[in-house]
Structure 1
């Protein structure tokens, strides 16, 4: 049987009335639930804290309340039975949003756990690469995060995104600012940085590096995880909230770094600058690991890279200025007493040693900012010996300049033997530093190390030839016999000349300095190995010819064992008296 048009219209009207009545009944029921919950916290109790309880696991009543608000917001999409009912629903829903906004704020402000200072090292040193899991910083307990997630979902589903995000953003920025202050980070104006002396600025840089590392390794990851957990159903919102917070902090950090980069260059600043460069570099993955929207991520990364480039360029210029320091030191006219290691050698080789600890970072900086034409890439025709990077080439340049500088300084010594001792001391010091540092050894290369070892051995040979070949000539048997007989006057003169020469060598070379104990021992052993056997043989061969001669001790002043004692007194940097030698 086909229904008439009027019957269908009547049925539809009845159904709409039934549906409207059902919606109205549900609205009334949900409204009562919501109003009952809100009534418990009226009269400002929620704001004053009188009725606050410790935030723990969400109760069934609270969960029911969140569900009621969500359902009520969805029912408003249906036409109500009357305009008065619609107005009542909107009013209740608005009161519920105000209530949730206030509850959201209180939870965000009052439920923060111990500050990040609890997970940083007490000695203020650098953080470990990855803090132990039990020390990872979580701003809120998991139960609290779950509650915030429910509140955020309710407010967002009801169309209160602006209010929800504004409360979250303000509270988290305020807490982040508190954490930064507890880490002793305070904003310093650019003009103040330019006026600050280096010792004070160095302390500020140390604080800055520590704070920036805590941000990149602990605070930013924790903040990103929190936003993703609270707004788990709204990834674009969580990214935007984290991005805005991170950008504000990063800009403050970059302002300091940028001002430091503009300070006057000085050699002692290099390693602090390199620490800053590495710290800035580590900020990029901390704020862009899925935590920022594309546009915001690009903007922040661009600003980080720009400041990093300025720090990198300043570091490059400071390192390359080491060349000028060596060249300018060539004008020194006072030799180091005793042929000891020159202060310039200690300064340059230790500077390079520490620089090589930053090998990877400096290679990145040279690759990005250095002009290849300004760095000599080796002079040898053997391509296998050439440095493999611009940084390594610059290190080799500096070492070549240092070698030339030391060669020039050796000429300040009038005694040729002392020149060789000076070069040997400095060469050995360089070798020991290279040997003790895998980083600088890698940069210099095995071939360069072996070449330097050969040069130092040649200095040793040159010294020994310059000093002791003359002594050995005195102990030669030639010229002492005439017609098969020993010429006594000539023999006396030989013994006397030998004694005088040993006195003179001991007098001067006992004041010479060889601080490297192994080198000192090697020198003494090599001298003893050639001089003592020669003298022992000479004494055994010729001394008896002087038996019966008056004042024989005037000529034969030393026994072979005395010579060994004399040699053991060389290179100590102080004079041992002849009387002590003779008594021994």
Structure 2
């Protein structure tokens, strides 16, 4: 109404009328003015009849009455009457700004707007279940396509909405309710009562957003509060945030933006104002949490959860940027970017710390039995898990690449170019190389040469199997895997075979003259050596392809060698020596 009066007074002011050419000033005959007045008076009379039936101050009004339930023809008539009333008021203003008809029309308009405001409130409050963000998001394309339709088309879309619907009807009812809200909003905005309509909308929708965010577990924290929390307290909060962020971006905020854009399609200013007031504060709180975590204490245990949050923002950034595209909501985008950058900095710092710790680590005590060292398990499991975030890590390294302290040797793997040394592939390859160097140094701790080789076999095989069966294989390359698989075979068979060969040559000159004693000793040696060797042989024969090409001694060969021991040159056992020589000369 205020907008109408202001525009009308401006249009009739001397300054505006003086700029108009007399030749272009419309000339109205008395007969024409009388005819127009007659039409407007009829519209006013018809509007009064319709509007008075729904007067909230009428003694016949009941709270159960609603324009937008049951027969929708009455709702159409009411909205049309308000529009006709608005047209009549424009005419009366042009005739006389103080006429009784204009005053009467203004009072009638206040009755109508009060009724529409009530209907708007009822629809919003009674249909929360079908105006939830998921339902709104699911029919977003249809809603957006309807924004450009004209008011006359909108009248045709007014349909019945109910209070109880099944899942199958939810989308349809959601669309009907949204159409009703838009019809009322358009009518109130065009009549100069957009602020009143927006006020009701903000109150109800903001309460829904606040409630949803609270139920998702999103709370506002300070950096001091985060710093005081131990990891067992922070990690569940990060898990909660990851779940909440996905729902908030994909459903809650996107649904609110779609609903707001649709209902207030006739006013960009109101549309922006409503969405900003409803969602801005909660969205900033949501995206502030990762920045606080990134600024807090940095430890290796926080690496992967930090990457989870980094990845979430990276994946959802297109939606975040689109949802909060209003100028008044740029603070949300800025906060999301700030968290994204700080998380990247934190991950980069933790990667540097991880590398530094690896380089400083020394293997001080040998592992019992030449087994897998805890450092080998820790580093490889860490790298395997980290390789699952290869895209995020690559993005982080691109912003600030970590420096390789020494170049990768050319013989390490042939498929990498010099430009790859600072890439994510080069980074992972370098970390594995550092570990292998540690393993080589750890083998020197064993006094027994056999256990030293066994340690190398176990640990190198563990590294290769972890690379082969994870995304590290894609990052480091097939050449690396093939080359190091061959090394494991050589360690496993070549070194052990060489030891046995040396031991055999040494002991083949020894003689036990007593046949019974000689046989007892050989049986004892066979029981100790043959089963263990056969187990080792069968285990790795099934594990590696082409193992026979590097195995010098099969289990049966080992038995033949043992049977040749401790005979003197003239003994009957000397017949075995020729067969032993053949095995030694094979070089298998």
Distance 1:423 1:42, change over 3 A: farther
Contact 2:394–2:424 (CA under 8 A) maintained in structure 1: yes
Aligned position for 1:15: 32
2 CA distance for matches of 1:215 and 1:136? Answer: 24
Query: In 1, distance between residues paired with 2:444 and 2:119?
Result: 83
Residue 301 (1) aligns with residue 333 (2) = yes
Determine if contact 1:209/1:276 at 8 Å carries over to the other structure.
yes
Secondary structure of 1:274's aligned partner: helix
> Greater shift after overlay, 58-67 or 423-432?
58-67
The answer to whether the aligner puts 1:99 opposite 2:115 as a matched pair is yes
2:48 aligns with one of 26, 31, 34? 31
Between the aligned partners of 1:341 and 1:157, the Cα distance in structure 2 is 77
* Contact preservation (8 Å) 1:488, 1:545: no
Displacement of 1:528 in angstroms is 2.1
- Asked whether 1:380 is paired with 2:413, we answer no
Deviation at 1:100, TM superposition (A): 1.6
CA distance in 2, matches of 1:516, 1:259: 50
Residue 311 in 1 paired to residue 343 in 2? yes
Q: Does structure 2 retain, via aligned residues, the 8 Å contact 1:420–1:459? A: yes
SS at match of 1:188: coil
Of 450, 454, 461, the residue aligned with 1:428 is 461
How far apart in 1 are the matches of 2:498 and 2:346?
47
**How far does residue 402 in structure 1 lie from its aligned partner after superposition?**
0.8
Q: Determine if the alignment matches structure 1 residue 368 to structure 2 residue 384.
A: no
Change (3 A) 1:141 1:114: closer
What secondary structure sits across from 2:92 in the alignment? coil
Match of 2:76 among 43, 63, 66: 63
Cα contact 1:243–1:297 (8 A) shared by 2: yes
1:190 aligns with 2:223: yes
**Correspondence 1:267 to 2:294:** no
Give the direction of change, closer, same or farther, for the CA distance of 1:58–1:44 in structure 2 (3 Å limit).
Answer: closer
Encode CA deviations 1:541-562: one digit per residue, 9 max, x unaligned: 9897489xxxxxxxxxxxxxxx
Question: Does structure 1 retain, via aligned residues, the 8 Å contact 2:288–2:335?
Answer: no
Q: More deviation in 441-450 or 537-546? A: 537-546
2:544 and 2:27 map into 1 onto residues whose CA distance is 117
d(CA) in 1 for partners of 2:364, 2:60? 84
Contact 1:58 1:143 in 2 (8 A): no
In 2, the alpha carbon distance for the partners of 1:345 and 1:310 equals 31
Q: Distance in 1 between matches of 2:541 and 2:67?
A: 69
**Closer, same or farther in 2 for the Cα pair 1:401/1:293, shift >3 Å?**
closer
Distance 1:515 1:185 in 2: 53
Give the alignment of 1:180-259 within 5 angstroms. Answer: 180-234=213-267, 237-238=270-271, 241-259=274-292
Deviation at 1:351, TM superposition (A): 0.9
Q: Which runs of 5+ in 1 are unaligned?
A: 1-8, 120-133, 481-486, 548-584
1:535 paired residue number: 562
Take 1:10 and 1:472, find their aligned partners in 2: how far apart are those partners?
127
Residue in 2 that maps onto 1:550: none
* Partner Cα distance (1:526, 1:136) in 2: 76
Partner of 1:75: 88
- The corresponding residue for 2:101 is 85
Superposition deviation, residue 412 in structure 1: 1.6
> Aligned residue for 2:578?
none
**Unmatched tracts of structure 2, length 5 or more:** 1-25, 136-166, 575-588
TM-score by length of 2: 0.75
Mark the CA change 1:27 to 1:213 in structure 2 (over 3 Å): closer, same or farther.
same
Return the alpha-carbon distance in structure 1 between the equivalents of residues 176 and 133 of structure 2.
23
| Cα 1:488/1:272, change in 2 over 3 Å | closer
Cα 1:147–1:467, aligned 2, differ >3 Å: closer, same or farther? same
Give the drift of 1:151: 0.4
**Cα RMSD for the two superposed structures:** 4.3
Aligned length: 511
What SS does structure 1 have at the residue aligned with 2:298? coil
Q: CA deviation at 1:172?
A: 1.5
CA distance in 1, matches of 2:436, 2:84: 83
**CA separation of 1:471 and 1:529: change in aligned 2, threshold 3 A:** farther
Distance in 2 of aligned mates of 1:349 and 1:262: 28
User: Could you tell me how far 1:508 is from its partner in structure 2?
Assistant: 11
Instruction: Provide the TM-score with structure 1 as the length reference.
Output: 0.75
Give the match for residue 449 of structure 2: 416
For 2:208, the equivalent position in structure 1 comes to 175
Determine the C-alpha separation between the residues in 2 that align with 1:29 and 1:55. Answer: 20
Q: Offset of 1:244 from its aligned partner? A: 4.8
